[in-house]
Amino acid sequence: MAASDAQNGVFSVRHAFGNVLAFFILLLIGVLAFSIRLFSVIKYESVIHEFDPYFNYRVTQFLTKNGIYDFWNWFDDRTWYPLGRVIGGTVYPGLTLTAGTLWWILNSLNIPLSVETVCVFTAPIFSAFASWATYLLTKEVKGAGAGLTAAILLAMVPSYISRSVAGSYDNEAVAIFALIFTFYLYIKTLNTGSLFYATLNSIAYFYMVCSWGGYTFIINLIPMHVLLCIVTGRYSSRLYIAYAPLVVLGTLLASLVPVVGFNAVMTSEHFASFLVFIVIHVVALVYYIKGILSPKMFKVAVALVVSVGAAVCCAMVAVLIALVASSPTKGWSGRSLSLLDPTYASKYIPIIASVSEHQPPTWPSYFMDINVLAFLVPAGIIACFSPLSDASSFVVLYIVTSVYFSGVMVRLMLVLAPAACILSGIALSQAFDVFTRSIKFQLPRLSDNSQAGEGSSENVVPNDSVKTDKTEDTSKERTSKKSKKKEKEPVEKPLSKSQIKKRLLVLPLETSVIAIILLVLLGAFYVVHSVWAAAEAYSAPSIVLTSHSHDGLHVFDDFREAYAWLSHNTEVDDKVASWWDYGYQTTAMANRTVIVDNNTWNNTHIATVGTAMSSPEKAAWEIFQSLDVKYVLVVFGGLVGYPSDDINKFLWMVRIGGGVFPHIKEPDYLRDGQYRIDSMATPTMLNCLMYKLSYYRFVETDGKAFDRVRRTEIGKKHFKLTHFEEVFTTHHWMVRIYKLKPPKNRIRGKTKKSKSKTSSKTASKRKELKRNPF
């Protein structure tokens, strides 16, 4: 007894020590998650990246300047001219509110950081939170060891890094944390059956709804899991407590967010949860009646309850179907439909299909984004099935659905990444557990076969049984079946029954040592790949580009040059037209009104701009004139070989424009189905505005007009613009800005007309000479 007491004391001390250790490991994981995302700041500078983050940054600036009430009521007239946009009602406010709160707290603590700095570092901070949330979630599923492994995997999974490097100030940065944390609280509620956690769960869900449109994934995945539990006969009252309050509270909280509003009860994305809500009540009633009745009476009751319940369900389903069928899109939003039917977007909505991150991924991108996790996930799934608990079945369901979604859209690889990390963490920690235990068990016997060695090995056994959960023990039995055959060492002494069982779980020493070395190598490979991805592949801010060549590093800062020119040389109220990709940046950096931007809420408006870009000069001038446009901005990569320029996006402009205005036809721009801009190009292509604005005076650069992106000489080299004049071209010709010529007065005399023409031409020439290095 005394010995066991002493042992217990040792264990509790060890346990406490383990907790402290786990705390410090978690702290280090947080530091790692934060610091691995700082490559972009170190290699470039502390700037906001890409397109959408600029909009979020602008909204945050507005929020910090004008306060929360003005933010909700903000009508933005600097975008979507002449329509404008109600920002407060159409934006997911979670990210901006988070960063605004952070900034406000820091300022009230007298830490004077700029809004931009806070925005840049929001994503790394939340990735640290996300890895802690992963620890909690995995701990609920398979214990602390698996939790720590999963947390460290998530801290540097390349897929998540790509969306959360410093400066990538986008919704996903906080949403992934919210997603994992909501799942954690759901599992926690499921394991404890506490209403307190259920309340927290719905609040976490509210935060997720605030942050990202991906919340529909949660509100569909959790009902699916509940249904799975019910169908497989795992219903418990904890399941009811975890689910029913979440639906009611979650729906109410979701409809508080202006951008969701009544959609939380009106659209089909949410109907699954209501259906399962009804089902779980029927099931709960059945279980209750089963509890209070004798089995014989219950048999009689089943028929009654089932028939009544089925009738009620049928009625509800009929009502729902009637509601759904009465709406034109069957209540589904286009993006969700393109998830369910991957070919939907390319068929009906070119504007969704045109975004590269909405395309299906390629196989290499899986390897790039989750690397070795892809191989560890199956092992993790197997580990989850032995023994299958409510929590582990949830994780399995999560990985299965997210694998499907990531196969439909590249962007949703981000949802897959946490699931892959959790399962790989489980797999790795289970594997390490088996191997280290077999080494621990065999080492003492290897050293000497005497009584002392036997005693120490006996000591090891209870140690292990404390350290590993009962769940893990059973899981090992399966792996040990193979080892049973391998074991050839003769049993020297009669062992107790538990010891025999333990012996059977043991792998040969050499095998386990080699396996551990291989696993460590695998982990090292993953770390190397992740750091490489963070440093090289995903840290470029995309508004500042660099290229290495034989004579050193080149920096292309043309975007900011162009936006600075706009903000310094144009009137405050001038309207700038460009393709929608550059709308957010223009409003945020140049502070000029744009016609369309990256929030693609009005397809017709975008189609109008697309039509103008694909029309001949005069028609385009008329369209732009009718929209009050003064400047047109095009992005051109032909000189330096920047591939994502407007000429490469041009076919989408044609498609989107042609979808609304049928006189624009895609075949007119293609020669034998091929998109080309060389001398074989169609006359429509060579005369459209986009071609002219991109290649105007291009021949003056090298005399041949060789396009480095398309790797060909352009088709039409010498031409003049009649309705536009070039006002600014950046250093590397990446951004070119044109001004619309004012409408001509009705002048009868020919002399006057020609005079005005020449004078304007010389004026523009002078300007060009001043600003163009070429």
Partner 1 sequence: MIIFIKVFKRREEKRRGFLWCIAKSRRSERMARSSSKDAQDLFRALWSAYAATPTNLKIIDLYVMFAVFTALIQVVYMALVGSFPFNSFLSGVLSCVGTAVLAVCLRIQVNKENKEFKDLAPERAFADFVLCNLVLHLVIMNFLG
By the criterion CB under 8 A, which residues form the site for partner 1? 193-196, 198-199, 202-203, 236-238, 240-241, 244-245, 248-249, 251-253, 255-256, 262, 265, 284, 289, 291-294, 297, 300-301, 303-304, 306-308, 311
How many angstroms separate the CA atoms of 80 and 600, rounded?
A: 10
Shortest reach from residue 240's CB to partner 1, in Å: 7
Q: Which is nearer to partner 1, 264 or 620 (CB)?
A: 264
3-class secondary-structure state, position 729? strand
Question: Which residue bears the tokens 């290699």?
Answer: 43
Residue pair 647/756 in contact (Cβ under 8 Å)? The answer is no
Check whether the bond before 773 is cis (ω within 30° of 0): no
Q: Which is nearer to partner 1, 21 or 317 (CB)?
A: 317
Alpha carbon of residue 267 to chain centroid: 23
Instruction: Establish how many alpha carbons lie within 13 A of residue 506's alpha carbon, considering only the half-sphere containing its beta carbon.
Output: 24
Count other Cβ atoms within 10 Å, centred on residue 402: 21
How many angstroms separate the CA atoms of 214 and 513, rounded?
A: 43
Q: Which is nearer to partner 1, 280 or 577 (CB)?
A: 280
User: What is the rounded (10 degree) CA torsion for 408, 413, 414, 418?
Assistant: 120
Question: For 383, which DSSP code?
Answer: H
Q: Which is nearer to partner 1, 278 or 352 (CB)?
A: 278
Structure tokens given for 550? 């034989």
How many angstroms separate the CA atoms of 766 and 93, rounded?
A: 47
Structure tokens given for 304? 């009654």
Q: Which is nearer to partner 1, 390 or 646 (CB)?
A: 390
Q: Which is nearer to partner 1, 309 or 462 (CB)?
A: 309
Residues of 247-280 as b/e, b for ≥16 C-beta within 10 angstroms?
bebbbebbbebeebeebbeebbbbbbbbbbbebb
CB-neighbour burial class of residue 504 (10 A; exposed 0-12, middle 13-18, buried 19+):
middle
Shortest reach from residue 236's CB to partner 1, in Å: 7
Q: Which is nearer to partner 1, 389 or 499 (CB)?
A: 389
Shortest reach from residue 253's CB to partner 1, in Å: 6
Shortest reach from residue 471's CB to partner 1, in Å: 18
How many angstroms separate the CA atoms of 484 and 478, rounded?
A: 10
Q: Which is nearer to partner 1, 297 or 555 (CB)?
A: 297
3-class secondary-structure state, position 678? coil
Shortest reach from residue 284's CB to partner 1, in Å: 8
Structure tokens given for 741? 């010529």
Check whether the bond before 364 is cis (ω within 30° of 0): no
Q: Which is nearer to partner 1, 195 or 763 (CB)?
A: 195
Closest by CA position to 135, among listed 17, 22, 20: 22
Q: Which is nearer to partner 1, 42 or 318 (CB)?
A: 318
3-class secondary-structure state, position 593? strand
118: CB partners within 8 A, 6+ apart: 60, 99, 102, 103, 106
Residue pair 365/410 in contact (Cβ under 8 Å)? The answer is yes
Shortest reach from residue 276's CB to partner 1, in Å: 13
How many angstroms separate the CA atoms of 546 and 44, rounded?
A: 9
How many angstroms separate the CA atoms of 73 and 30, rounded?
A: 37
Q: Which is nearer to partner 1, 60 or 202 (CB)?
A: 202
Q: What is the 3-state secondary structure (H, E, C) of 118-144?
A: HHHHHHHHHHHHHHHHHHHHHHHHHCH
How many angstroms separate the CA atoms of 570 and 46, rounded?
A: 27
Shortest reach from residue 258's CB to partner 1, in Å: 12
Amino acid, single-letter form, for residue 210: C
Shortest reach from residue 522's CB to partner 1, in Å: 40
How many angstroms separate the CA atoms of 63 and 94, rounded?
A: 12
Shortest reach from residue 175's CB to partner 1, in Å: 21
How many angstroms separate the CA atoms of 67 and 75, rounded?
A: 14
Q: Which is nearer to partner 1, 302 or 544 (CB)?
A: 302
Q: Which is nearer to partner 1, 233 or 494 (CB)?
A: 233
How many angstroms separate the CA atoms of 575 and 591, rounded?
A: 10
Residue pair 385/392 in contact (Cβ under 8 Å)? The answer is yes
Shortest reach from residue 260's CB to partner 1, in Å: 12
Shortest reach from residue 252's CB to partner 1, in Å: 5
Antiparallel, parallel or unpaired: β 712-713 and 593-594: unpaired
How many angstroms separate the CA atoms of 621 and 604, rounded?
A: 18
266: CB partners within 8 A, 6+ apart: 331
Q: Which is nearer to partner 1, 203 or 516 (CB)?
A: 203
Q: Which is nearer to partner 1, 196 or 774 (CB)?
A: 196
Residue pair 609/577 in contact (Cβ under 8 Å)? The answer is yes
